């Protein structure tokens, strides 16, 4: 069956820009328009020229530089608005004037103070006026979904007769629910059979009930052949139908939808990021298609599934929207399979034993850190694959450090199958730890050098401590990392001590304090 082509009418630069705080400079608008053209949108609603001279200038710039899509400008049923639209579009290769007039009772009575008869006349008069300058005229009966049906159908009939080539049905306040909205579209087609055929039938859904995309899809199924939408779903109040969600729903459920779009879906992420960056409107992490988490998997079960067969937990190939692939977020929910795969990806070919130990450490770290980044893992493995045997291992650490009191540390170390504990005071908490370690191991070390740096990202970044100690005539370096800087210091000190211990002739088990 041949699929119906759905016209994608993007209004990011008009309704989207009406989002509080989202205003854009003419240059920014041009940049977004260029990206929309790259995505292959059919119509770009570039702005509302009556709003300001700057808006006219921005639409003119876009009209000059963006030649493939139709460039559209919005106008109220006011002659000077239509004149401003005409001026704004004068350089466009393909142009459309979009005229709107509210039709619902509440708008007629309270906002416009006009009768139904007056509404007919105003609509017809201004469509005819706009038609003098532009063949492609879109008419929107604003608040259509709350308009009396028979009256709405008659407004639409007269608009078509006056020259509208597209009739757009807005759910201006996001009030409709999908079944009802689909039924409204069917009703309008029954009353005006040229809709969806000779005259484009468009819908424009707002998201006040979170149903903008669902309503738009219901309208498509009912016969609409244009949808108005915005990148990231930005727009008045709760926003408009999100383009990326609409396009990917049509694409992903091609088995059910008899329609298709011309959008180059690989440009979706780029467009989303550009719009977010230029408008300053942050995309929520769990936003469908473009949210940071949309293709991330955290649970061990999901990670295992995705690694075995992506489609187990992913309905869209991330590459299709312009991402490099799915993201396996390593954290406390991750399993061995995901950890091993990440090691492989990072180029670490570890033995089964090394994997066991690194995984154990990873789990301990994941309990402390929200996200375990690749640098964290590299650090874990480096620590694991080091050729220094863990003669002494940290089992327990307790620091007392209060202003005005001498800092003290209680440390327990593991050696073979036994543990030993010691407490000590020091000039500072780190010094107290080193002294306690000396007591346990019996190794007298002089600290020559001590340096801290942050090695991973995030608020809970790991710190790395590097030490140089002198034991007898030997100078040895040690390195340790942890989210806790004192623990990192202890690990660094032990790393150095272990290097010394590993080369002692005397078996370490004979050390007195064990
Ligand atoms: O939401 C709305 O009704 C509009 C019209 C101008 C189409 O944005
Ligand atoms: Zn709107």
Residues 311 and 178 reside in one and the same domain: no
Is 235 near ligand 1, meaning CB less than 6 Å away? no
- Round the average pLDDT of the chain to a whole number and report it: 92
Between the CA of 259 and the centroid of ligand 1 the distance, in Å, is 24
**Range of the structural domain that residue 491 is part of:** 393-502
Is 145 near ligand 1, meaning CB less than 6 Å away? no
Between the CA of 98 and the centroid of ligand 2 the distance, in Å, is 12
Among residues 279, 314, 338, the one where a domain terminates is: 279
Q: Residue 133 domain-assigned?
A: yes
Q: What is the pLDDT of residues 86-131, one digit of tens each?
A: 999 999 999 999 999 999 999 999 999 999 999 999 999 999 999 9
Q: What is the pLDDT of residues 464-496, one digit of tens each?
A: 888 889 888 888 888 888 889 999 999 999 988
C-alpha pair distances (Å), 418 with each of 86, 333, 391, 424: 87, 31, 11, 20
CA distance 479 to 495: 6
Residues 323 and 275 reside in one and the same domain: no
Residues 95 and 217 reside in one and the same domain: yes
Collapsing DSSP to helix, strand or coil, 275 comes out as helix
Average of per-residue pLDDT across 403-429: 92
Q: Residue 200 domain-assigned?
A: yes
Res. 250: pLDDT tops 50: yes
Is 170 near ligand 1, meaning CB less than 6 Å away? yes
Q: Residue 514 domain-assigned?
A: no
Ligand 1: residue whose CA is nearest its atom 3: 172
Task: Indicate the top mutation candidate among 43, 206, 212, 229 to test ligand 1's pocket, ranked by most ligand atoms within 8 A of CB.
Answer: 206
CA distance 217 to 179: 10
Residues 274 and 302 reside in one and the same domain: no
Between the CA of 142 and the centroid of ligand 2 the distance, in Å, is 8
Is 204 near ligand 1, meaning CB less than 6 Å away? yes
Give the number of other CB atoms < 10 A from CB of residue 340. Answer: 17
Half-sphere exposure at residue 502, Cβ-oriented, CA atoms within 13 angstroms: 14
C-alpha pair distances (Å), 139 with each of 165, 194, 203: 8, 15, 11
Q: What is the pLDDT of residues 362-375, one digit of tens each?
A: 998 898 877 788 87
CA distance 212 to 243: 10
CA distance 496 to 480: 10
| Total residues found in the chain within this entry | 514
Q: Residue 56 domain-assigned?
A: yes
Residues 54 and 175 reside in one and the same domain: yes
CA distance 62 to 422: 74
Q: Residue 21 domain-assigned?
A: yes
Q: For residues 168 and 206, is the Cβ–Cβ distance under 8 A?
A: no
Name the domain count of the chain.
3
Between the CA of 18 and the centroid of ligand 2 the distance, in Å, is 9
Q: Residue 44 domain-assigned?
A: yes
Ligand 1: residue whose CA is nearest its atom 5: 142
What is the pLDDT confidence band of residue 505, given thresholds at 50, 70 and 90?
A: very low
Is 15 near ligand 1, meaning CB less than 6 Å away? yes
Residues 213 and 87 reside in one and the same domain: yes
Residues 321 and 245 reside in one and the same domain: no
Is 172 near ligand 1, meaning CB less than 6 Å away? yes
Ligand 2 ion: Cβ-proximal residues, 5 Å cutoff: 15
Smallest CA-to-CA distance from 231 within 179, 272, 290, 265 is with 272
Domain with 145 in it: what CATH number?
A: 3.20.20.70
Ligand 1: residue whose CA is nearest its atom 1: 172
Tokens representing 373 are 């980044």
Ligand 1: residue whose CA is nearest its atom 6: 100
Residues 404 and 302 reside in one and the same domain: no
Between the CA of 205 and the centroid of ligand 2 the distance, in Å, is 7
User: Burial level of 425, CB count in 10 A (0-12/13-18/19+)?
Assistant: middle
What is the pLDDT confidence band of residue 509, given thresholds at 50, 70 and 90?
A: very low
Residues 137 and 219 reside in one and the same domain: yes
CA distance 265 to 128: 37
Q: 227 has which bridge partners?
A: 8, 203
pLDDT at 507: 37
Residues 239 and 210 reside in one and the same domain: yes
Q: What is the pLDDT of residues 301-336, one digit of tens each?
A: 898 888 888 999 999 999 999 998 888 889 899 999
Residues 190 and 317 reside in one and the same domain: no
Residue owning tokens 């020259």: 163
Residues 132 and 10 reside in one and the same domain: yes
């Amino acid at each position: 069956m041949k699929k119906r082509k759905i016209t994608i009418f993007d209004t990011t630069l008009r309704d989207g820009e009406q989002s509080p705080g989202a205003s854009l400079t003419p240059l920014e608008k041009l940049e977004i328009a260029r990206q929309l053209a790259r995505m292959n949108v059919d119509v770009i609603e570039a702005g509302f020229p009556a709003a300001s001279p700057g808006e006219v200038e921005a639409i003119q710039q876009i009209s000059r530089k963006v030649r493939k899509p139709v460039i559209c400008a919005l106008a109220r049923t006011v002659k000077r608005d239509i004149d401003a639209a005409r001026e704004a579009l004068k350089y466009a290769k393909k142009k459309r004037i979009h005229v709107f007039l509210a039709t619902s009772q509440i708008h007629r009575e309270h906002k416009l103070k006009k009768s139904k008869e007056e509404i007919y006349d105003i609509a017809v008069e201004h469509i005819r006026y706009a038609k003098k300058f532009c063949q492609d005229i879109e008419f929107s009966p604003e608040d259509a979904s709350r308009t009396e049906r028979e009256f709405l159908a008659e407004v639409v009939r007269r608009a078509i007769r006056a020259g509208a080539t597209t009739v757009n049905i807005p759910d201006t306040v996001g009030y409709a629910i999908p079944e009802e909205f689909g039924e409204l579209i069917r009703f309008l087609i029954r009353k005006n059979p040229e809709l969806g055929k000779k005259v484009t039938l468009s819908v424009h859904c707002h998201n006040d009930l979170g149903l903008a995309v669902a309503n738009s899809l219901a309208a498509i199924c009912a016969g609409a052949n244009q949808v108005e939408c915005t990148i990231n779903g930005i727009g008045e109040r709760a926003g408009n139908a999100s383009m990326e969600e609409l396009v990917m729903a049509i694409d992903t459920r091609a088995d059910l939808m008899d329609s298709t779009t011309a959008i180059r879906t690989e440009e979706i992420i780029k467009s989303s990021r550009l719009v977010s960056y230029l408008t300053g409107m942050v995309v929520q992490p769990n936003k469908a298609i473009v949210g940071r988490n949309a293709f991330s998997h955290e649970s061990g079960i999901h990670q295992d599934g995705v690694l075995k067969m992506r489609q187990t937990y992913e309905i869209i190939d991330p590459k299709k929207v312009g991402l490099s692939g799915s993201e396996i977020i390593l954290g406390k929910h991750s399993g061995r399979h995901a950890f091993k795969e990440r090691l492989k990806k990072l180029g670490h070919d570890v033995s089964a034993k090394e994997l066991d130990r690194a995984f154990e450490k990873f789990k301990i770290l994941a309990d402390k850190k929200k996200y375990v980044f690749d640098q964290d893992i590299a650090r874990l493995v480096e620590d694991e694959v080091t050729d220094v045997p863990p003669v002494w291992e940290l089992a327990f650490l307790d620091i007392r450090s209060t202003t005005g009191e001498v800092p003290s540390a209680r440390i327990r170390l593991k050696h073979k199958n036994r543990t030993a504990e010691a407490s000590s005071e020091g000039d500072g908490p780190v010094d107290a730890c080193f002294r306690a370690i000396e007591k346990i191991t019996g190794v007298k070390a002089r600290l020559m050098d001590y340096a801290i740096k942050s090695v991973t990202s995030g608020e809970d970044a790991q710190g790395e401590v590097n030490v140089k100690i002198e034991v007898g005539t030997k100078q040895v370096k040690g390195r340790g990392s942890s989210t806790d800087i004192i623990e990192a210091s202890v690990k660094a000190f032990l790393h150095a001590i272990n290097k010394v211990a590993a080369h002692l002739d005397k078996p370490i088990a004979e050390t007195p304090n064990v």
